[in-house]
Each structure stands twice: as C-alpha cells, then as structure tokens.
A = this chain, B = another copy of it.
C-alpha cells in the first residue's frame, strides 16, 4: 500500500470513531470513502458491517470504480459503495461521508413530501465550500430510500444534476450524504449540515410549525 493510502485510511478511521461517539454512526451504520487515485479510480472505503467506534486503519479497503476490492482484504466493502462512486464522479469529490443521526433521520421523513428542505440565514452556512454569506439559501434534497443500490445511484446522479449547488442530500429515514475536496472538507460539510438539521428540528418543536 502506498503511504498516501495509509494516511488516508488512518484519517478515515479517526473520523469514523468521532462520528460513532456523537451517535451519528451507531449500530455499524454510516460509511466513509476517500479518493486515492483518479485514473483509474481507486477509493479507500470502509468495510461492511463494522462497528465504527472500533474501525482501524488496517480494515479500510481499496476498491475500484466497480466497487471491487483491489487491496489484499477478504472483507466486503460497504453495500453503499456504488453511491460513493457515483458522487465522486458527479461532483469530482475527493471524499464522501454518510451519517445516520437522529436528526437527519427525523427530518428526512418530516420533509420528504417537499422533496427537501432549505437552510437560510445561518452563519454556519458560510462553512460550506463556495458560500460567502449567511444570506445564502441551501437546498438539501431528500430522495426516497431503496435497497437497489444501482437504481439509487442513478437517482442520486439525477438529483445531483438538478441541484448543482447542493452540498449534500438526505435519503429518507436513512441518512445524510455529503462530500468535499478531501476528508477534512467532507467532515466539515457533514458537521455543518448535521448542525443545521438539529437547529431546524429543535425549532420545529417549539411551535409544531414548519420553519418559515
């Protein structure tokens, strides 16, 4: 394994542990990837069914653009690898992260009929790449969940094509996907969107009304 892979794998494992501690990746949920090479595409990918609080750098797999394992591991990559690969291709992302938080699960359901929800007027939005002011309006699309990963990848591809500026999306009653140029930026985006979801969710409770 090249040095760069080991550094990336270490970083992936450390982010996974942090997410698990926050309750964003309980029960082996959540998955993480980062681009190791573009041509041909090689991705560092978290294995399937592993406790994210116990994940080690040694367990991180290397997969190709068909989600086949090309490192010397006998483990299975995350079932959702095709979604990661699609996002990398559509967005030119260097890293893709997926969390299952209480708030993203709840809001992905509450706003499902609207096809998404928006955040507006929050300073926190400035942390999203390319956003310069809190006056920005960020649309977070919500997609129906599915167990057909290839169909879901296509549906994600379509959504990303329609919402060129989106920094993430929700799968209904499933979780949040976000990405970035590298792992640090993808982690930043996840933290920001999780923060905004919780702020909007808790605000809903006050008046049982949608955020205006």
Report which A residues bind B (CB closer than 8 A). Answer: 18, 22-23, 26-29, 51, 53, 100, 102, 105-106, 109-110, 121-124, 127, 132-134, 145, 147, 171, 173-175, 184, 187-189, 191-192, 194-195, 198-199, 201-208
Contacts and interface: CB of A to CB of B under 8 A. Distances in A.
For this chain, the copies found in one complex come to 4
A102 B202 contact: yes
Contact of A127 (B28, B110, B145, B171): B28
Given A26-B124, A28-B127, A205-B205, 16 more contacts: A27-B195, A29-B127, A51-B188, A100-B123, A100-B124, A102-B198, A102-B199, A105-B195, A105-B199, A106-B199, A121-B173, A122-B173, A123-B171, A123-B174, A206-B208, A207-B208
A29 B174 CA distance: 27
